[in-house]
Chain A
Amino acid sequence: MANIKELSKQKELFTGGHRACAGCGAVIVARQVLMAAGPNTVIVSATGCLEVVSTIFPYTSWNVPFLHSAFENAAATISGVEALYKSWVKQGKYDKKLNFIAFGGDGGTYDIGLQSLSGAMERGHNILYVCYNNEAYMNTGVQRSGATPKGADTTTAPVGKIKKGKEQYRKNLTEIMVAHGIPYVAQTVVGNWRDLTGKVEKALSVDGPKFINVFQPCRLGWGYKPELTCELGRLAADTCAWPLYEVVNGQYKINYKPKEKKAISEWLSLQSRFRHLSKPENKPILDDIQGETDKLWAGLLKKEATQ
């Protein structure tokens, strides 16, 4: 695995000049994934922030082949690209070794793209699907998704006089992917480049369908200072809001166990989407979020220990 100095000297496969917000985590994901994957990579992206900011015609940030077709179908689209590659290899028309990587936001992956993703994973294509998960529909202006955590303020589950943000827990998509029995599933986070690039390298060394759920702070939707993106990512791991783990051929491995698990409120309090939770009357919601976080973390530790 390359160190950060070596990574920084590589030719940029995802270049600057794109139109992402200052402090955008999604473009950090794209850049680091490509650093790990290298130039022999074909990218498909779902509609969303990443595609919108990086491909405004006639410009592109992608120095590797890139295809976008629609919102809900990045997995199906890359299935076709990979199938064509297999067909050409079988016919002796092509011999280069290639990586096939699809990017989708959480809306395009957890919600509208779930069927397409599930189908592609079940069919066993040799693809890596990377979800850049910022926990809401950020491109359209911060609407709640299946990945939005309980208590978060979004424009379609807003905090009002009666309601206190999203009322449901988020869907556990990583475990849904594990249930597909695919060879590699992992969670990682923006702010831990070593974990992220290492997981991409590892995933790409495996034949078959792979899924990485990258937790990606979004300064616009989460409401924090742009320089805090990587710190918020790391704090998500320290509070176990987003545990770093991988499941290789069904075997769980937790990649980071905080020495002192921090209270979830340390992470929540830096984000304006949870601002209302600091009010005394909303303490039960805060306690509930801490309880759910603890439960999931304990479950994960148990899975790792008892396999």
Chain B
Amino acid sequence: MSKFNIVARTGNEAMAEAMRQINPDVVAAYPITPATEVVQIFASFVADGLVSTEFIPVESEHSAMSACIGASAAGGRVMTGTSSQGLALMAEMLYIAAGLRLPIVLAEVNRALSSPINIHCDHSDTMMIRDSGWIQIFSENAQEAYDNMIQAMKIAETIALPAMVTTDGFIISHGMERVDIFDDKDVKDFVGEKKPDNYLLNMEKPITLGALDLQDYYFEHRRQLAEAMIKSKAIILDVAKEFKDKFGRSYELFEAYKLDDADCAIVVMGSTAGTAKVAADNLRAKGVKAGVLKLRVFRPFPNTEIAATLKNIKAVAVMDRSDTLSGNEGPLALEVKAALFDANIKKEIPDYIFGLGGREIRLEDIESIYKDLGDIIKGEAKPKVTYLGVRE
């Protein structure tokens, strides 16, 4: 088992530390609150000669992802970081990175999208590009952000898909926590050397990348991309197992917190999962069998696994930190419901859209959801979508 140092780090510092240990060939990035620190700290590593990375301080996030695509296509190990409007500006290039099957890793600090402009946490940015072909891994705290970054690099390069690791803006990114940092060498050994098969700088075998695909090939290439995403699920689990063997901490596609005997469960992602666990514990102390399904991997979506886990739970609610503005639920609830429908599980699943623009979510708010679930068990109906904690 690897040794580790116990240190105090913010989420941004922890992610930057993982990047230092991975020591990518190229990082191209642009400042944006609340992700700025990740690349700012990394730039100081470059300035101090602690990494061999070429750092490209580009003039926009669009160029950041474009430069990452160039460097990754050329054969390098490449990372970046951003938030919110930055991720939105990158959107075009995120699809292209995935289509070109480039294993870029992105530290994404979740922040609301404009308008109105707001710098605080919600998941609108990450959800906006949920169908771009990127693996999406959510973190509950700084430790998970650090661990997920290390795993993401290996996952991405194994399946040849880009991956983003998310934290919640300010809540995780700027919150100081206890973090175990592993030895540099152990992280390097775990991630390994990148060995590209086909790459631009291989002058012995010149390749054309980004060719025009028309009616006769485009569909096959998109189908291969879909297949890679399906297969990545097993790879994420393999990498998690290797990670546990080496570093001792367990990861799955999601964490089933006290769900074995639960009557009611909340499905949630990110830092709010921590609050939900406390709420569940408080209720259990009062005899309510409450649990939490903390989703770690949103893409690929663990549909069958979630359905199997929720099957026997009497009442389930979803908490969405973004909205689809469709008259339907938020994105997480839509996916959970589709998974249960496919498994022939019919349940009323209320969705709670919460915390937009950094609106605080309190223990009482989450306890009120468990109370609603208790009412559902008693036969009461609840609204399909509730906007939780908003004045209206």
Contacts and interface: CB of A to CB of B under 8 A. Distances in A.
Interface of A: 39-40, 42, 44, 51-52, 55-58, 60, 62-70, 72-73, 76-88, 90-91, 94, 96, 98, 115-116, 118-120, 122-123
Interface in B183-229: 200-203, 206-214, 217
B71 interface: yes
Contacts of B200: 42, 65, 67, 81
Contacts of B68: 80
A123 B57 contact: yes
Contacts of B210: 51, 55, 66-69
Nearest to B64: A76
B206 A77 contact: no
Contact of B66 (A55, A56, A69, A96): A69
A116 B65 CA distance: 12
11 contacts: A56-B214, A64-B206, A65-B200, A65-B206, A67-B70, A68-B210, A69-B210, A70-B93, A79-B28, A84-B54, A91-B25
Interface in B19-53: 25-26, 28, 52-53
Contacts of B202: 65
A119 B70 contact: no
A66 B206 contact: yes
B331 interface: no
Top 8 nearest A-B pairs (CB, nearest first) are A80-B70, A119-B59, A80-B67, A68-B210, A76-B63, A76-B66, A80-B71, A73-B66
Contact of B25 (A51, A72, A87): A87
Contacts of B278: none
A119 B206 contact: no
Interface string B272-299: 0000000000000000000000000000
B76 A73 contact: no
B67 A76 contact: yes
Nearest to A93: B25
Contact of B217 (A57, A67, A116): A57
B54 A87 contact: yes
B70 A87 contact: no
Chain B interface: which size bin?
Answer: 35 or more
Contact of B209 (A66, A83, A87, A91): A66
B321 interface: no
Contact of A79 (B25, B58, B76, B203): B58
Contacts of A118: 59
B203 A76 contact: no
A69 B96 contact: yes
Nearest to A102: B70
A84 B212 contact: no
B196 to A, nearest CB: 11
Nearest to B95: A70
